[in-house]
Amino acid sequence: MEKVALIKATSYEQNEVTTAIEKAVNLLGGIDKFVQKGQTVALKVNLLMKATPEKCMTTHPAVVEAVAKLVLKAGGKPFIVDSAGGPFTEGYINSIYNASGMTLASQNSGAPLNQDYTYYEVENPNAKVGFKFPIVSAIDKADVIFNLTKLKTHSFTGYTNAIKNMFGIIPGLAKVEMHGKYRDLDVFIDFLYDIWTYLNGKVKLNITDAIWGMEGFGPSNGTPKQMNAILASENPLALDYIATQLMTLIPETTPIIRKGIEHGLLEQNPEIEVLGEDLTQMIVKDFKTCEPNNYKPYANYVPQFLQGTVHRVMTKRPVIPKAKCKGCGKCHDHCPAKAITMHPHKNKRFAKIDYNKCIRCYCCQELCPFGAVKIKSGIIYKILHIKKNKNRTTNPHSHHNQGKSETPH
């Protein structure tokens, strides 16, 4: 039976975080089970963009520091690594290391920050869609990977945690290319699982920072939400299965989990042993979830040839208010569908979206450093969404609200 450790932690005070992580890892068999003396361990964090820990977009440095020290204690050689949403270059990644607190976590723990910005193409003959893709060399060459994730909503996939975090091993702007190539949500998720099959068991441990997560329109434009939890598991999908319940989601209804079961990472209606806290007491009842982009309630009654058009008018769409846009051009540079153009306005520029080209991947919303991209639902989407929520089964575990949600720290 798969096991997930669930430990309560209410703040990012280092001692509390370290104790919670040690407890979680010990419940799973202890750190020596996951790393051998002398092995290099890539601590694959979530560093979405240049943001301070208080924004709750990135794995908190207290979590990274605690895990790094644990690996060092076991005789492993940890290093901190991620390829964020922008270019995979020394200057850009170091600015994110500094803003996110990774530099401090590195100094405090002794685990270096990855400074190898090379990558190469790898092959996966067992893939469903991604037979070849580029990968960050340092992660590929590590003996072992620890997946250190942040629990958040996600405008495209519904939520992001253990499974989705591995998309960050694709270097910088190649991620844009992958979004362009795998536009349909189900196909994109197939690609995520292709990354996991390529890694072939090298990810020995998954640890989630859900002390503060993100609700609403994540992964960057949502609202920080106190959730008071650290989770850990050897199985990333089992971890997501439990973590999504903390967000009040019904796991099998989320595309990542549904597809993960198809890919054989878990059985249908899996039995998962939760070690530590009582899951029913940890669920954040008033958590604001986010509908994934593959919501197709019309699929049974609209002819195939019209589905593209109908999907466009019935999905959430990104909107860039002229007054909010600073004209930096980041969304333009990263849009996989080349749907964004820059236009002069008074003495600056603003970004404009061509909705006929837009594939609703929400990368623009994810990466806009000024939070200028809003996600808007059309009236038809809203009506159907309300109807769908009415039909949704109430989660039997949802009866305890842990959230205070004022400030993260």
84 binds ligand SF4 (CB under 6 A): no
In contact, 2 and 235? CB cutoff 8 Å:
yes
Please pick, from the candidates 351, 381, 402, 408, the single residue that binds ligand SF4 as defined by CB under 6 A.
351
340 binds ligand SF4 (CB under 6 A): yes
328 binds ligand SF4 (CB under 6 A): yes
Beta bridge partners of 209: 150, 230
120 binds ligand SF4 (CB under 6 A): no
Comparing CB distances to ligand SF4, the nearer of 28 and 359 is 359
358 binds ligand SF4 (CB under 6 A): yes
Kindly write out the interface string for residues 368-407 of this chain, putting x where it contacts ligand SF4 by CB under 6 A and - elsewhere. Answer: x-x-xx----------------------------------
162 binds ligand SF4 (CB under 6 A): no
Please pick, from the candidates 195, 318, 381, 402, the single residue that binds ligand SF4 as defined by CB under 6 A.
318
In contact, 153 and 215? CB cutoff 8 Å:
yes
Minimum separation from the CB atom of position 57 to ligand SF4 (A): 15
Minimum separation from the CB atom of position 162 to ligand SF4 (A): 24
Comparing CB distances to ligand SF4, the nearer of 56 and 351 is 351
Minimum separation from the CB atom of position 293 to ligand SF4 (A): 9
Among the candidate windows 202-210, 252-260, 352-360, 392-400, which touches ligand SF4 by CB under 6 A?
352-360
Among the candidate windows 49-57, 144-152, 157-165, 366-374, which touches ligand SF4 by CB under 6 A?
366-374
Comparing CB distances to ligand SF4, the nearer of 31 and 340 is 340
Beta bridge partners of 272: 2
Please pick, from the candidates 182, 327, 405, 408, the single residue that binds ligand SF4 as defined by CB under 6 A.
327
Please pick, from the candidates 335, 381, 402, 405, the single residue that binds ligand SF4 as defined by CB under 6 A.
335
362 binds ligand SF4 (CB under 6 A): yes
Chain positions contacting ligand SF4, by CB under 6 A: 318, 320, 325-331, 335-337, 339-340, 351, 353, 358-364, 368, 370, 372-373
